[in-house]
Amino acid sequence: MSDSPFDIISSRKLVPVIALADAAHANPLAEALVAGGLPIAEVTFRTAAAEAVIRAMAARGDLLVGAGTVLSIEQVDQARDAGARFVVTPGFDPKVVRRCLDLNLPVCPGICTPTDISMAIDHGLSLVKFFPAEAMGGVKTLKAISAPFSMMRFVPTGGIGPTNLSDYLALPQVAACGGSWMVKPTLYADGDFQAVEQATRKAVALAENDV
């Protein structure tokens, strides 16, 4: 993959947000995403297995792997060392953002106010995560807070699924949407990842219809 991580994400319009408790599931989940046509994985630091999952997925070489829910400089370093090619944070932490910039590691920090967006611009960023999207007012709020910032693009995440994905992707300022519906643990609770592949394929088709 020669393109920048965020260019790849923008072209795909979707970011699967993953929380794996068992690193043994990393490869079969990655295979399901690739087979479903979405070779991207944002592995969140919400479980103790996150670093191992990132390492296993990144070693494959057939999908773009990033780290999500990154809350500290230490996690930035862990993610980078494990092979993550981008970082996503739930809020705007200047220390975490600066560490990513120092490492030339693309970072997409979480924002939910105009002040947050201004901070992102001050750090030279042009892509941010609108989070938690639905809880903060969804499309209506994103339209309002993004209006003064034409130079910024957004990745809404939080409460997004098949029923409202189109509403977000219809906004010109939205680069992609983050979601977990196609990688929910209930889909592979029986050890069969075919449901993930099927859900991913449907999500990709839905996103492509809105490009």
Catalytic residues: 42, 129
DSSP symbols for the chain: --S-HHHHHHHH-EEEEE--S-GGGHHHHHHHHHHTT--EEEEETTSTTHHHHHHHHHHHSSSEEEEES--SHHHHHHHHHHT-S-EE-SS--HHHHHHHHHTT--EE-EE-SHHHHHHHHHTT--EEEETTTTTTTHHHHHHHHHTT-TT-EEEEBSS--TTTHHHHHTSTTB--EEE-GGG-GGGGTTS--HHHHHHHHHHHHHHHTT-
Q: Is the peptide bond before 132 cis (omega within 30 degrees of 0)?
A: yes
Count the alpha carbons within 13 Å of 105 in the hemisphere toward its beta carbon: 29
Token pair 């990709």: residue: 204
